[in-house]
A and B are shown apart, each in its own frame.
Chain A
């Protein structure tokens, strides 16, 4: 059990650029979640996958955001045409199908200039 990993840990980009983050969940964890955390706030749910199927998306996930989990293992979160308001920590978590506890990765901190 190597834990949930996320890459990159930090990303600085200019407004209007596209960015992609990667999350590798704990091996054999069926469910994978993405959250966004802005300064001084708790994490907010964005979306989750069960295996490769994306089962729920938050209203926070605008059409500039897209997430994939093509083989039911790692996941990517892409933000197109970034805006300054996208600056946040993006957290990934995973959980086995029969589990009740989400295990979080270290997060990717995005700064949009």
Chain B
């Protein structure tokens, strides 16, 4: 069984500050890992994904994440927060051998302050 843990349900940063959203996963097989962003009353938009290529993955809007097998982590970072980054962020793991269904974390609400 797979699972995802997102530490910190709410994260608040100042505009221009580093964004760090934490994600740890549990998987019995080499995972596919994803970060999605959700704006209010909207669906999920893919930010980036790890599918066993480079461990440092770059995504849209200046976000990146690093897959660390030894730490079972896939933390999301952005060097400089922008007001438009305020949203909810979900980390997810895919059971690529079982239909690619996603198991999501509980999400982290990012607030960006002036």
User: A residues near B, CB below 8 A?
Assistant: 4, 6, 31, 33, 35, 40-45, 48, 50, 55-56, 91, 93, 95, 100-107, 109
Residue of A nearest to B42 (CB): A106
A33 contacts B101, CB within 8 Å? yes
Instruction: List 17 additional contacts besides A100-B96, A105-B43; criterion CB under 8 Å.
Output: A6-B43, A40-B9, A40-B106, A40-B107, A42-B4, A42-B105, A45-B102, A45-B103, A50-B99, A91-B43, A93-B44, A100-B94, A101-B34, A104-B43, A106-B42, A107-B41, A107-B43
Contact of B107 among A42, A101, A104 (CB under 8 A): A42
Ordered nearest first, which 3 A-B pairs have the shortest CB separation?
Answer: A42-B104, A104-B43, A104-B44
Main secondary structure of the interface of A (DSSP, over half): strand
Residues of chain B at interface, number, CB under 8 A: 27
A105-B43, A109-B41 known; A100-B51 Cβ under 8 A: yes
Complex CA gap A93/B99 in Å reads 13
> Which residues does chain B contribute within 8 Å of A4, judged by CB atoms?
43
- In the complex, number of A-B residue pairs with CB atoms less than 8 Å apart: 62
A48 contacts B99, CB within 8 Å? yes
User: B residues near A, CB below 8 A?
Assistant: 4, 9, 32, 34, 36, 41-46, 49, 51, 90, 92, 94, 96, 98-107
